[in-house]
Amino acid sequence: MKSPNCALTIAGTDPSGGAGIQADLKTFQELKTYGMSVITSVVAQNTTGVKSVHHLPLNMLSEQLEAVESDLPIHAFKTGMMADVEMMKVIKEWIQNVKAPFVMDPVMIATSGDPLINEDARIYLREELVPLTAIVTPNISEAEDLTGDKISTHEDMKEAAKKIVHTLGAGAALIKGGHMQGQAIDYLYDGKAMYSFATERIDTKNTHGTGCTYSAAITAYLSQGEELHKAVEKSKHFVTSAIRHSFELGKGNGPTNHWGIREEELTGEFRNYS
C-alpha cells in the first residue's frame, strides 16, 4: 500500500469529542488522511462550555513536535488552541523548520463564549504567527479581533479578509459568515482573487466544533495537494454536511456529525463535492 497523505493538528483537547484534537482527527479520518496530533492543553469542556484548562509544560510540547517531525511526513498542519505567548514561541520556532502548508484556526473564544487566550497571546498571534500561514480561518468575531474593525456586512467581511492578508501578512484569509443573517456565505481572499462559498443556513444550535472541523478539512485537502480555493470549497460542503446531520447530544450546543457526508452518500442525498 502506498504511503498516505499526512496531516498534523496542534491544538487542545475536548473530552466530549466535538471540538479540538478529537474533531480534527475525526475529520482527517473521514477525508482519508492520516491524522497526527500534538496536544497544547488538556481542556475540561463539554457542550455547555469550558470547565478548566491545564496547559502542557513547554518541554513536553516541544518534544511532541519534534517526535512527529523527526519520524513522519507532514504534508499540511493546522493549529487550534494556543493558550499563551510562551507556547506560541515554541510552536513558531518549530514552524520555521517545516515545509508544509500552515492552516490557522485562530481559536480565541469557545462556541459557548468562554475566552480561551489572553490579550498578550492575541497580539503575538497576530504579529508573529499569522504571517507564517498559508490560510487563516476566523469567524466574524475572530476577524474583528484580528483586524480591529467592526464587521456587520458582507463587504466588511471582504475587507477584513484583504486586511488580514495585506496588512497582517497571511497567505490567505477565509472569513466565515456563520453568524450573519441569510445564507451561510464565507469569503476567501488569497491575495489576488476573492472567492465566495454559499450554502443554505441550517436551523440548529448543534454547532459545537464547526470551526475545528472546517479548518481540519482544509488541512486534509491541502495535504492531498488540492489548490487552496478547491480545498476550501470541498471543506465548506464537508462542514455543512456535518452541521446538517448534527447530533442532539449534551445539554448545550451539540456536536456536528463528522460522518454526515457519508450519511448523504448512503441515503442518496450525496452531492458532487468535487
Per-residue pLDDT 10s for the chain (274 aa) are 678 999 999 999 999 999 999 999 999 999 999 999 999 999 999 999 889 999 999 999 999 999 999 999 999 999 999 989 999 999 999 999 999 999 999 988 765 566 677 889 999 999 999 999 999 999 999 999 999 999 999 999 999 999 999 999 999 999 998 767 778 899 999 999 999 999 888 888 988 999 999 999 999 999 999 999 999 999 999 999 999 988 889 999 989 999 888 878 777 665 544 3
Predicted confidence at residue 3, as pLDDT, reads: 85
Which of the residues are catalytic?
176, 207, 209-212
1, part of any domain = no
Q: Report d(CA 72, CA 191) in Å as an integer.
A: 31
**Residue 82 placed within a domain:** yes
Cβ 33 vs Cβ 6: under 8 Å? yes
* CATH code (residue 40): 3.40.1190.20
With residues binned 3-state (H G I as helix, E B as strand, rest as coil), the percentages for the chain, rounded to 5, are 40, 20, 40
The tally of domains found in the chain comes to: 1
Question: Dihedral sign, CA of 28, 130, 108, 57?
Answer: positive
Residue 52: exposure state from Cβ atoms within 10 A (0-12, 13-18, ≥19): exposed
- pLDDT at position 207, please? 87
Q: Is residue 76 part of a domain?
A: yes
At 272 the pLDDT is 44
Q: How far is CA 176 from CA 7, 143, 173, 179, 246, in A?
A: 22, 9, 10, 8, 19
Q: Where are the alpha helices (DSSP H) in the chain?
A: 20-30, 58-69, 85-95, 119-124, 140-147, 154-166, 210-223, 228-244, 260-267
Instruction: From residue 45, give the alpha-carbon distance in Å to each of 58, 111, 141.
Output: 22, 11, 21
Which candidate, 18, 68, 25, 73, places its Cα nearest to that of 43? Answer: 18
The pTM for the full model equals: 0.94
Q: Assess if residue 272 is contained within a domain.
A: no
What strand order describes the sheet that includes 6-11? 34-39, 6-11, 76-79, 102-104, 135-136, 173-175, 184-189, 194-199
Q: Does residue 217 belong to any structural domain of this protein?
A: yes
Which pLDDT belongs to residue 113? Answer: 61
132: left (phi over 0), alpha (psi -120 to 50) or beta: alpha
The DSSP call for residue 115 is B
Range of the domain at 181: 6-267
